[in-house]
Chain A
Amino acid sequence: MAAPMELRCWGGGWGLPSVHPESLTVMAYAKFSGAPLAVNTINNSWRAPKGDVPVLISEDIVISQPAKILNFLRKQQYNADYELSAKQGADTLAYIALVEEKLLPSLLHTFWVDAENYCSVTKPWFASRIAFPLNLYLPGKMSREALNRILLTRGGPPFYSLTEVEAQIYRDAKECLNLLSKRLGTSQFFFGDTPTTLDAFVFGFLAPIYKVCFPRVHLQEHLKQLPNLCRFCDDILTCYFRLTASGHSPTGQDTADANLQKLTQLVNKESNLIEKMDDNLRKSPQHPPRRLKTLKLAAGGEESSPLNRLSP
């Protein structure tokens, strides 16, 4: 590859590399298949997100939807499904369709439509990452689009009010989670020991439900009752996404350690100097003896685990 591919997507929080399900799916797939991706999270700059997010930019090609991005990566020989049989490939498509039909509406609802969740968590989070004045408009638009999608695909008779639709989509989501849990069983990933496209999609949809802390969380509670799905998410996070809440790779942690050591040495030197000065002062007759407190090294707040940094 001449230039590394760049992925623009929403950033992370609560221990996740991204809180947006589709961005998370693409990131997970890239990790599974070993594709070198430079992840640029959307932050408070004027390059506002236009159209779909996530977006993959490779040389001059711009690709926007997760399915198309995954296809592109496969064509570039980054294929996580290499060892799957034809039937397993078919199963992948079927389960992805199941997750999109049954789980996505309630995910959208939890993030964007439920009033308490939206106002206290989603809107501030997204607004803080979009530049003014778009941050006043864009979260609202995303919320309206989510509601629209839910109503158009699931609303209509015999449901005549939003609460009935909500009840149905949460029922469907819980059933879907149960089905996924049964399918996963006790194995580490959906098709044995290596993660594939299906694992990327399921992780992308489950992890935000699992990790993001909302005031209204009944879907999360249901998910926590399915320990194999929770273990699945945690495994992927620890194996493939070590310390990514701030985008640091393991080498980042080493440099942080090195910095910490240097700082410790400096402070120790300072404290030695101060002790020497103190001795000199004591030996000098004019001043009464004083004891200077030795400087203790406090663990730097910024070097603490980034995983805790954004915890609410």
Chain B
Amino acid sequence: AAEPWPENAALYQQLKEEQILLSDNASSLAVQAFLQMCNLPIRVVCRANAEYMSPSGKVPFIHVGNQVVSELGPIVQFVKAKGHSLSDGLDEVQKAEMKAYMELVNNMLLTAELYLQWCDDVTVEEITHPRYGSPYPWPLNHILSYQKQWEVRRKMKAIGWAGKTLQQVLEDVDQCCQALSQRLGTQPYFFNKQPTELDALVFGHLFTILTTQLTTDELSEKVKHYSNLTAFCRRIEQQYFEGNDKESSSTAAARSAKKSLLR
């Protein structure tokens, strides 16, 4: 039997101002957007050790009642089991397409974000290392950063991204954005009138890319090139995040020194 959604459901992520990185912020924002679209209240709790608390080692994770679920895929299924779903109105072929596009975003955008954060030396030195280990004292901050970097680089090597240059990665991002832009066309959401988890995922990644200041602007330039994508992000931000009393992503973005608002 589906229990009703409790009032004190919490979403855990890393510290927004100092610690969280581009890819984690994108994933967290995607989950927040999804829950907002389902009209399920959630409060965002920032903890330095969120990554270690998570059952799968990845952020964000939600704590609902006495269950803990992490990552967008399992969260969507969990929410569905509770009786809320955004993709029920889709037919089988559309569901297949939605899953395919979500894999595309994960495969290309998320991997590109990880590459940029952990394999591009300039970004690693100036942004990632200082941010990732910031809550911890020396030498733990260095050790944890290097450990994570080694892990991510190993994964990049296994999937064949280690040999790519930054330019090639940016081209892949461009290709992915082009595909998303063509699929979105002039519709308000990817599956016309109603938002789905795909919209939440795309919003999470694109909004984060557009509003995070990195060493170069090349990544956000790639996204800005497609005007329907920026309009899409603005629309979702206005509809689901503004006028929100709790810490919303846009107001937090304004406060954070490392982010520049999309205007």
Residues on A facing B (Cβ under 8 Å)? 65, 86-87, 89-91, 93-95, 97-98, 100-102, 145, 148-149, 152-153, 156-158, 179-180, 182-183, 185
Contact = CB atoms under 8 A, between A and B. Distances in A.
Interface string B159-184: 11000000000000001101110110
Contact of B57 (A97, A98, A100, A157): A157
A98 B101 CA distance: 8
A89 to B, nearest CB: 7
B182 A101 contact: no
B56 A98 contact: no
Contact of B55 (A90, A102, A157): A157
Contact of A93 (B56, B154, B160, B179): B179
23 contacts: A87-B182, A90-B178, A91-B100, A93-B104, A93-B175, A93-B176, A94-B97, A94-B100, A94-B101, A94-B103, A94-B183, A97-B100, A98-B100, A100-B107, A101-B107, A149-B159, A152-B159, A157-B56, A180-B96, A182-B92, A183-B93, A183-B97, A185-B93
Nearest to A159: B56
Contacts of A156: 56-57
A159 to B, nearest CB: 9
A97 B107 contact: yes
A90 B160 contact: no
A86 B103 contact: no
Nearest to A148: B158
B104 A98 contact: yes
Contact of A152 (B57, B93, B104, B158): B158
Contacts of B95: 179
Nearest to A68: B168
Contact of B100 (A87, A95, A153): A95
Nearest to A52: B160
Given A94-B104, A97-B108, A179-B99, 17 more contacts: A86-B182, A89-B182, A93-B104, A93-B175, A94-B97, A94-B183, A97-B103, A97-B104, A101-B107, A149-B158, A152-B155, A157-B56, A158-B56, A179-B96, A183-B93, A183-B96, A185-B93
A85 B158 CA distance: 34
> Considering the complex of A and B, which 7 residue pairs feature the smallest CB-CB distances, nearest first?
A90-B179, A94-B100, A97-B104, A179-B96, A86-B182, A98-B100, A97-B107
